Amino acid sequence: MARRRELWTESEPGANPFALPRGLIGHLAGWIMARANRAQNTEVAGFLGIGDEEDVLEVGHGPGVLIELLARHRGVTVTGVDPSSEMVRMALRRNAEAARAGRVRVRRAGAQATGCEDASMDLVVSVNTVAMWPSLDDCLAEFHRVLRPGGRSVITWHRRPARFALTVEELSTVEEAVRKRFGAAERHELPSSVVFGATK
């Protein structure tokens, strides 16, 4: 069977408005994702079991639903990065109050260069973005760089609907790359997401 597309190439995610939302169509894609992916982002937030006082980086936050869920925890600060200006605007609007209070920061950047300081985060999480990264190894190196010792990296992707799921081969590629960078990798299957976890 033909592959759907080349993953983890150095090229941009292309014209798919869900992969890199731009302009009016991108805004619409963000609106759809905020609704369609809310249950999955809620599931991921539950899985994270976030404690008080954690510094969290979300990579590829899209419309900002997970930021909103995480920022509800006392003492938690959430930094969001996304290469889409449209998604940065949407996430800021959704989290305006938390941003004003200094608990949420959002800026335009990608998984390969988040702009965060070395060892400044307790958790780096990314939901439904790993297939858009230009290079798995470079992006995982960036996650590792920004994590404090003992910090967690959590990468998740859709399990449902089946047409969005990664192939068995692609899932193994992600798991192997995480293992190579962090020394160990865990894979969990939640109802809506496959999760790759690792600790620095």
Q: Is there binding between residue 196 and ligand SAM (CB under 6 A)? A: no
Nearest 5 degrees, angle CA 76-CA 82-CA 84?
Answer: 145
Residues 125-164 that bind ligand SAM (CB under 6 A): 127-129, 132-134
Q: Which residue from 157, 74, 147, 138 is spatially nearest to 116, judged by alpha carbons?
A: 147
Residue 198, strand partner residues: 153
Residues in contact with ligand SAM, shown as a per-residue x/- string from 39 to 78 under the rule CB under 6 A: --x-----------------xxxx----------------
Instruction: Report H helices in the chain.
Output: 23-36, 38-48, 65-70, 85-94, 96-100, 136-146, 168-182
Alpha-carbon distance 176 to 149, whole Å?
A: 21
Is residue 178 a contact point for ligand SAM (CB under 6 A)? no
Q: How many residues sit in the footprint of ligand SAM (CB under 6 A)? A: 25
Give whichever of 28 and 149 is closer to ligand SAM, judged by the CB atom: 28
Q: Which residues bind ligand SAM (CB under 6 A)?
A: 13, 18-21, 33, 37, 41, 59-62, 82-84, 87, 110-112, 127-129, 132-134
